[in-house]
Amino acid sequence: MYRPWLLALLVSLTMITAVALPFASGPSPRSDGSSGGVGTQQGRTLPVPNTMPPVNALSAIVTIREPYIVVDTKAPDTERAMASTTKMMTALLTIERTELSPLDPDFLSINTTVTASAAAAGVGGSTMGLATNDEIRLDDLLRGLMLPSGNDAAIAIAEEISGPGEGANGGAFSVLMDDRAVELGLTHTDFANPHGRDAPGHFSSASDLSILADFALQDDLFAEIVRTGQYPTTTWEWWNGTSKDTTLCMTNRLIAGRCGSQADVYPGANGVKTGTTSNAGESLVFHSERQGKSVLGVVLNSGPWGSGLRYVDAPIMLDYGFGAISSECTAAADAIISFTPGPGVGAGFDDPANALGDPDAGPGGLDESVALGDGGSLILRFVDNGLVDHTGPDIIVYEDAGVPERVEVEASVDGIAWVSLGVGEGTAGYDLDGSGLATAHYVRLTDQGDGLTGAPSAGFDVDAVRANNWKCPPVAAAGIDETLECTGFDGADVILDGSGSFDPDTAATDATPPGAVEAIDQYEWFEDFGLVTETLLGTDAVLAETLPLGTHGITLRVTDPWGLTGIDTLQVEVVDTTPPDLTVTPHPPSLWPPNHKYVEVTFDVVVVDVCDSAPTFRLIAVASDEPDDGRGDGHTFNDIADAELGTPDTSILLRTERSGREDGRTYTIVYEASDASGNTVEESVTVIVFHDRGPP
């Protein structure tokens, strides 16, 4: 019988730190196992602004592992169908049983042979190809579960653990899955089956799946399985007794070495699980390890089946996660190294015994070599003690016990020299073998014969500043959000300035190496980065761009010589707050004689707008300053006719009459103009019927 409390105890004894951290701030699970409302985000949050670029997924989370830190999220606790990401729990439960003591009644040998039932063979959906009565070892069955996402493997495993028929919806194995979810603190998860096909009451959240994956990846067997691109089965026996020789292919396109195209492979990707159903859409739990750091992400419903948008979202989130930890890449502390020359100093450049600081240099020699490691940098400051001339020493580089390589470095006026090791092609400095990669360098100095030989007892100091191995991601700096006023029909001109971007690996504390620039090989500016509407705007550090009216998500991606990337996003809003220019000219501007007849008056209406090439106008009012049936108007009515208010009417009828004893009549006509941004302006004009026989 399965005893969840025992398994939880065994796991917690060895992994208590990893389990406690993600769930310390999380809500308590519901005691009845049902779903609750939106809970508190579990885990710690990285102290950086939430600036994750837009992704297609309805829910998403990106975290750093070891320790588990949440970088950014999108609807992380919303409960959604999770499809075959379910199989992470199925695999975890199974593997945990193989790691119990053989004396425990729940122990399950990884070498157990499992016989596929008719239910397993007929489950449908994605399968590894089991037929009824096929026999396969549990080890291979787990790989059939996680690589080709075999629903048949899920049923076979569930029935092996919980008995015949228990892989179905609502079976005993699902209860075990729910129990384990409670133990792990998953508060927005409920399992109805072991494979993830859509079913009532079968759901999870991005945050819960992230926690589950983080925990499962701590198991060596689980981690080994989910990073495998393809696997030839070795123990599969068909129902008729013949061996089945087949290769199980990974469905996760981020994993290198899988069957088929490698187009979507992401550097360092090593997990975790795909999932696709009509309700779940395209979902993915993904993981990558680079530069000694791990980034884990989850996307739920990135798009419909076959859209491929999860493989657009995942690299964006991984880049974002690695970029968020770039602040941890800092240069090593200064190392103060004192070299005391011994006998024989300056006797030659090619003999290691004559190098300054070499232990074989004689009684006065000291071993003060500086170990650099892979692709490091060294700044040498020659401190003048007034005893010897320190200009122009040579730097001798040794690689372990290999042949020394000579690098000539001429100190600058202030005594600073620079040497770079393994920085890659095209970078100023010294590259040991041209590969951009170097190991275990040791740096010693020899004399060029310009002073040290004549004063063998004199000493000098060297400050060695080692950069951080050239493996930190660059930091993109796209600038701050902007709101710009539209200046033309095309929008507004904006200067996108990424010149503040930098690579921590190039930071120098004392000097700038000759010819050195920030180690960023490529700048790329995108609009709608990662979305189906993604557009590459340009590839310069500073880019002049014209953006139309509206809000624009602009992302800068920078790449360093190692191929590492950093991204930063800003929002540029182009607004139009200026109303159009409106001029209205009546024809004729006055009426005569006052014979009570209608006269057609037309209006030239001109609307000009800076940002809208097609602004609109409408007639909104026509009024007279005299009554419609006043003194002297011949008892007529409807002095204003054919005026279609609310339309771009430019022709109306006005009666030619006025009061005989007053100053005359003034008709006032009002037009309104509007642009596409909703800015409006009104313009009034008058048509006059003079009191006397004509204009004064």
- Regarding whether 174 and 33 lie in a shared domain, the answer is yes
End position of a domain, from candidates 268, 290, 325: 325
Q: Rounded to an integer, what distance in angstroms lies between the CA atom of residue 116 and that of residue 585? A: 89
Within-domain flag for 471: no
Residue 554 has pLDDT above 90, yes or no: yes
Asked if 451 contacts 411 with a C-beta cutoff of 8 angstroms, the reply is: no
Question: Which of 376, 2, 388 lies closest to 177 in space, CA to CA?
Answer: 2
On whether residue 475 sits in a domain, the answer given is no
Task: Tell me the mean pLDDT in the region 489-509.
Answer: 79
Backbone angles phi, psi at 209, to 5 degrees: -65, -30
Contacts of 601 (CB under 8 A, 6+ apart): 586, 587, 588, 591, 651, 652, 653, 654, 667, 687
Q: Which of 33-37, 597-601, 624-628 has the highest average model confidence (pLDDT)? A: 597-601
In whole angstroms, give the CA distance from residue 206 to residue 667: 68
Q: Are 173 and 282 found together in one domain?
A: yes
Torsion, Cα of 587, 589, 595, 600 (10° steps): 20
- What is the β-pairing status of strands 565-575 and 482-485? parallel
Per the domain annotation, does 472 fall within a domain? Answer: no
Whether residue 373 is contained in a domain is answered as: yes
Is the pLDDT score of 318 beyond 50? yes
| 184 plus 167 within the same structural domain | yes
- Mean local confidence (pLDDT), 274-285: 96
Residues 436 and 489 occupy one common structural domain: no
Give the model's pLDDT for residue 66: 75
Task: Please give the pLDDT value at position 463.
Answer: 36
Q: What average pLDDT does range 651-658 have in this prediction?
A: 93
Give the chain's count of helices (H) and strands (E).
9, 33
Question: What integer is the mean pLDDT of 111-115?
Answer: 95
Cis peptide bond upstream of 53, omega within 30 = no
Residue 126's DSSP bridge partners are: none
User: Could you tell me if 571 and 590 lie in one domain?
Assistant: no
What SS3 state is found at 406? strand
Q: Which of 575, 593, 610 is where one domain is finished?
A: 575
- Of 442 and 128, the one with more pLDDT: 128
- Residue 532: which CATH number? 2.60.40.10
Q: How confident is the model at residue 599 (pLDDT cuts 50, 70, 90)?
A: very high
CATH of the domain at 316: 3.40.710.10
Residue 69 has pLDDT above 50, yes or no: yes
Q: Which residue has the tokens 């790449």?
A: 559
d(CA 94, CA 151): 15
List the structure tokens of 691. 């009191």
Number of alpha carbons in the 13 Å side-chain half-sphere of residue 506: 23
pLDDT at 339 over 60: no
Considering its fold, how many domains does the chain have in total? Answer: 4
Look at residue 658 in the predicted model and tell me its pLDDT. Answer: 86
Whether 607 and 571 share a structural domain? no
Query: How far is CA 192 from its chain centroid?
Result: 33
Mean pLDDT for 593-614 is 95
Strand-by-strand arrangement of the 482-485 sheet: 482-485, 565-575, 550-559, 522-527, 535-538
Cβ pair 644, 603 in contact under 8 A: no
Give the residue from 142, 161, 163, 164 showing the smallest Cα distance to 153.
142
Domain around 355: 335-466
Pick from 158-172, 380-394, 652-666: least confident: 380-394
Place of tokens 């920030």: 518
What is the C-alpha separation between 4 and 180, in angstroms, rounded? 7
Q: Which two tokens stand for residue 348?
A: 């030659």
pLDDT score of 472: 61
Residue 169 confidence (pLDDT): 81
The Cα–Cα gap between 509 and 468 comes to 12
Please tell me whether residues 555 and 601 are part of one structural domain. no
Per-residue pLDDT at 323: 73
Burial of 253 from C-beta contacts in 10 A (0-12 / 13-18 / 19+): buried
Q: Which of 519, 552, 575 is the last residue of a domain?
A: 575
Task: Name the pLDDT band for 424 (thresholds 50, 70, 90).
Answer: very low
Could you tell me which residue, 315 or 36, shows the higher pLDDT? Answer: 315
Alpha helix positions (H), 489-587: none
Spatial separation of the C-alpha atoms in residues 280 and 287, rounded to whole Å: 20
Q: Which of 284-288, 355-359, 674-678 has the lowest mean pLDDT?
A: 355-359
Encode pLDDT of 194-225 as tens digits. Answer: 999 999 999 999 999 999 999 999 999 999 99
Instruction: Give the model's pLDDT for residue 53.
Output: 78
Q: Which pLDDT score is estimated for 135?
A: 95
- 184 or 516, higher pLDDT: 184
Q: Please tell me whether the peptide bond between 397 and the residue prior to it is cis, using omega within 30 degrees of 0.
A: no
477 is a domain residue: no
pLDDT at 11 over 60: no
Q: Flag whether pLDDT at 540 surpasses 70.
A: yes
Q: Does residue 533 fall inside a structural domain?
A: yes
Give which of 232, 331, 208, 225 is closest to 272, Cα–Cα.
225
- The per-residue pLDDT for 140 is 95
For residue 279, give Cα distances in angstroms to 79, 200, 276, 374, 618.
12, 11, 8, 48, 49
The H or E element containing residue 147 is none
Asked if residue 600 belongs to a domain, the reply is yes
In terms of domains, do 522 and 450 share one?
Answer: no
CA angle 292, 294, 298 (to 5 degrees): 165
Q: Is the pLDDT of residue 438 over 80?
A: no
| Same domain (yes/no): 249, 388 | no
518 and 617 in a single domain? The answer is no
pLDDT level of residue 325 (50, 70, 90 thresholds): low
Q: What percent of the chain has pLDDT over 90?
A: 50
At 458-497, the pLDDT tens digits run: 333 333 333 333 456 678 889 999 999 999 999 999 999 9
- 586 versus 31: the higher-pLDDT residue is 586
Residue 238 pLDDT exceeds 60: yes
Q: What is the pTM of this model?
A: 0.53
Q: How far apart are the first and last CA of the chain?
A: 112
Does position 584 have pLDDT exceeding 90, yes or no?
Answer: yes
Distance, in Å, from the CA atom of 194 to the CA atom of 196, rounded to the nearest integer, reads 6
Establish if 330 belongs to a structural domain. no
Same domain, yes or no: 159 and 276: yes
Q: Is 108 within 8 Å of 154 (Cβ atoms)?
A: no
For residue 82, the surrounding DSSP H or E stretch is: none
- Give the residue-averaged pLDDT of 541-561: 90
Beta bridge partners of 285: 273, 298
pLDDT in tens, 395-422: 444 333 344 444 444 433 344 444 443 3
pLDDT of residue 15: 29
Q: Are 588 and 643 in the same domain?
A: yes
